[in-house]
Chain A
Amino acid sequence: MTHTGIPRTDVCIIGAGPAGALLADTLAAAGHDVVVLEAGPRFDPTDRLERMERSIRPGDSGLSVWDMGGKRDAYTSSGENFYPLNHARVKGVGGSTLHWQGMVMRLHESDFAATGPAGGEWPIDYDDLRSYYANAEQELGVAGAVDNPFSPPRDEPYPMPAFAPSHSDSIFAEACEALEITTHSVGNARNSVAYDGRSQCVGYGTCNPVCPSGAKYSADTTIEKAEAKGVRVVTEAPVQRLETTAAGERVEAAIYAKDGRTYRQEARQFILAAGGVEIPRLLLLSASDEHPDGLANSSGAVGRYFMEHLFAGMGGVLSGRETRQNHVGFMTTESHQFYDNDEPGIGPIKLEFLNYAGPSPVEIAMDSAEYGDDLLETLKASYGHNLAMGALVGQEPRKENYIGLDPSETDDHGNPVPDVHWRIGEQEKRTIARANEIQQAVLDELGVDIRWKIGPENTGPTYHHMGTTRMGTDPETSVVDARLRCHDVANLTIASSSVFVTSGAMNPTLTIAALALRAADFVDESLKQA
């Protein structure tokens, strides 16, 4: 038996991550009646320190910190490259920003125009997003400085001053200067001063997977603001499918499960903000006579063009110099010099200088069979001289990388699990190798004894899902239009990196937030017109 949810509302948003939270808050501020359906729980903010302890204690794979895994989160990974999906997401109020690192930057103008083999032109450009980027920086609270000569144009200062460069940044700066690599500050969605009712960063050093002080932005704070404006949030209410009108032109209801029952939530406008994997899955699960290949999928593009950023890195030991790592859990310096490169066959590279290279003494202590003076000697010998660099490398959009349904396995509600079918291509491998070359040059310049390398052979994803409901002007090849509305379904908007046409190599969430704020304007307009 299906029960009625909250009486028909103006807007039903599916997912309470940053995209859903910002839409809920903005639409409520515009006077609309909003319901948010969230698959995961609401995590009590007073538990954050206990979660931090869990994250520092050994053996924790990272999944237990936010209770990920089990039948609810079952998935398969059928591609050439394994995809560890549950490390790449959190289900709950706040979504993956509970776990995220919090590095935020705008995409470059070139990203909107890039053309890969599959075609990669966005129907919007940087200027369409520019003011929304500024609003997103205010909403998330970004600490930054205007010292990055490679960044796209911006008119306004960051809402908070940048974090000062670290001690090891100054070591890297020497080598970079010699190699003519320009370094600069990096945008952080983390309070460098008290901001928006949340504390300044106090240096717990565990930002990813959990910030106990609340200095790092997470979207549960935006949900709280939205609730104060009247938004209703239903937690542990995974949406099972979307039901359309008889002609299939509009969504009529979201069908969700809660406490062993099935509910039907009706609304005038629906917004899918369930993240880059669950959005295409839900569309595919919502296949009907009118939409036989999945809802909003007349193009066949739903789930296709899945993209990630790949990691390249290198690190080692710098004898004789203190490098002061692990005091904080975030980065203060990057170089975007190799982003808009014109090297043939090389994609964008975002170069990072780590502040948490090498072992964390407290973690080593708990993992060790040693104790007393022997343990202390080991800790002293292992701590103090590590340096490391990372890089994010963009991935080309390819139709054969996809999120599909795997009917051979079902989740806790009997739905086929998502199947991530993913392969890392030649361009990415070349770009990773190029990033490694730059890293090696910097570390060699400093005389670092290189002890590890993440290169093309052992690279992995950086947990940024993108591309699975791409944006475009042509309904034959894309899922949503420039207003983020599905071509095939009049009242269904998608707010996610799933609409990205190209990946760039910048961490995606500021762009997700900017797109969400822009989508809110269009949904507001539709509601006012109707």
Chain B
Amino acid sequence: MELTRRDALSALASVGIVAGGGSAFLASGDDGADVSRRQIVETMGAAADVLYPTEVTGIHAFVETYLTRKIDGRPAYRSQLGRAVVELNETAQDWYDAPFAELSVELRTQLLVEMGIPEADPSADPGETTARRLRYYIWNDLQYALYSSPTGGRLVGIENPQGHPGGLTYTKQP
């Protein structure tokens, strides 16, 4: 099933972002490291390769549309996400000698698991540990984008998932 521009726009709508665009800029991580929009998008696309089911296509374009607009629209979020991306890349560099996006999907998966992200507390207030921050800003943000979009919903069998304003389709026969 292909993720479309409509899915990305819809996922954006569900986080409250309607307009976007803007020039390339630097998003500052809280630790002082600068991280470019390109780096954020590449890292998140690489993470989505791990997190999204194999039958989904169009992942990178979806993530790019969703994220560039979301980080433009929410400066505080951009800075937290930037910090998470820096941390993920630093860990990838330390452990496997390459940025996260340059690792094979197997190594990316292994890294996320080794960092304890699947088991990390997924709830809000993610500032406490690296694992929680990555869980909140990288892992769960990608899951939210996918499963509140029409295509993500359809994968599961619901064409109007929570978070998506898909209208009053609840009466329809399956």
| Residues of A that sit less than 8 Å from B by CB | 46-50, 52-54, 56-60, 64, 163-167, 201-206, 212-213, 322, 324, 326-329, 332, 355, 360-363, 365-367, 369-373, 375-376, 379-380, 383-384
B165 touches A203 (CB 8 A): yes
**A49: nearest chain-B partner, CB-CB:** B16
In the assembled complex, the Cα of A226 lies from the Cα of B23 at a distance in Å of 43
User: Is B129 among interface residues, defined by CB-CB distance under 8 A?
Assistant: no
| Residues of B that sit less than 8 Å from A by CB | 13-17, 50-55, 74, 118-119, 121-124, 136, 139-140, 143-144, 146-148, 152-153, 155-174
B51 touches A53 (CB 8 A): no
A372 touches B51 (CB 8 A): yes
B167 touches A203 (CB 8 A): yes
Instruction: Known contacts A54-B124, A167-B173, A362-B143; decide if A376 and B53 are in contact (CB<8 Å).
Output: yes
In the assembled complex, the Cα of A381 lies from the Cα of B73 at a distance in Å of 36
Which chain B residues border A355 with CB–CB below 8 Å?
A: 170
Which chain B residues border A49 with CB–CB below 8 Å?
A: 13-17
Which 8 pairs of residues, A with B, have the shortest CB-CB distance?
A59-B123, A49-B16, A322-B174, A327-B170, A202-B165, A362-B147, A369-B118, A376-B53
B14 touches A328 (CB 8 A): no
**A377: nearest chain-B partner, CB-CB:** B53
**A376: nearest chain-B partner, CB-CB:** B53
B172 touches A324 (CB 8 A): yes
B118 touches A370 (CB 8 A): yes
In the assembled complex, the Cα of A206 lies from the Cα of B16 at a distance in Å of 14
Instruction: Known contacts A57-B124, A365-B143, A383-B158; decide if A201 and B168 are in contact (CB<8 Å).
Output: yes
In the assembled complex, the Cα of A295 lies from the Cα of B123 at a distance in Å of 44
In the assembled complex, the Cα of A372 lies from the Cα of B124 at a distance in Å of 22
**Interface of chain B: mostly helix, strand, loop or mixed:** loop
B16 touches A46 (CB 8 A): yes
A383 touches B148 (CB 8 A): no
A388 vs chain B, min Cβ distance (A): 15
A166 vs chain B, min Cβ distance (A): 5
Which chain B residues border A64 with CB–CB below 8 Å?
A: 124
Instruction: Known contacts A362-B143, A362-B144; decide if A167 and B170 are in contact (CB<8 Å).
Output: yes
A280 vs chain B, min Cβ distance (A): 33
Instruction: Known contacts A46-B16, A371-B51, A371-B118; decide if A363 and B162 are in contact (CB<8 Å).
Output: yes
Which chain A residues border B144 with CB–CB below 8 Å?
A: 53, 56-57, 362, 365-366
Which chain B residues border A213 with CB–CB below 8 Å?
A: 165
B118 touches A165 (CB 8 A): no
Which chain A residues border B16 with CB–CB below 8 Å?
A: 46-50, 52-53, 212
A361 touches B14 (CB 8 A): no
Of the A-B pairs whose beta carbons lie under 8 Å apart in the complex, a sample of 13, sorted by A's number, is A52-B16, A54-B124, A57-B144, A166-B171, A202-B168, A204-B163, A205-B161, A324-B174, A328-B168, A361-B147, A366-B122, A371-B139, A384-B157
**B139: nearest chain-A partner, CB-CB:** A371
In the assembled complex, the Cα of A47 lies from the Cα of B73 at a distance in Å of 12
Which chain B residues border A204 with CB–CB below 8 Å?
A: 14, 162-165
A205 touches B167 (CB 8 A): no
B171 touches A376 (CB 8 A): no
In the assembled complex, the Cα of A212 lies from the Cα of B118 at a distance in Å of 30
**B168: nearest chain-A partner, CB-CB:** A203
In the assembled complex, the Cα of A167 lies from the Cα of B174 at a distance in Å of 9
Which chain B residues border A60 with CB–CB below 8 Å?
A: 123-124
Of B50, B155, B163, chain A has the most CB atoms within 10 Å of the CB of B163
B53 vs chain A, min Cβ distance (A): 4
B169 touches A327 (CB 8 A): yes
**B52: nearest chain-A partner, CB-CB:** A372
A324 vs chain B, min Cβ distance (A): 6
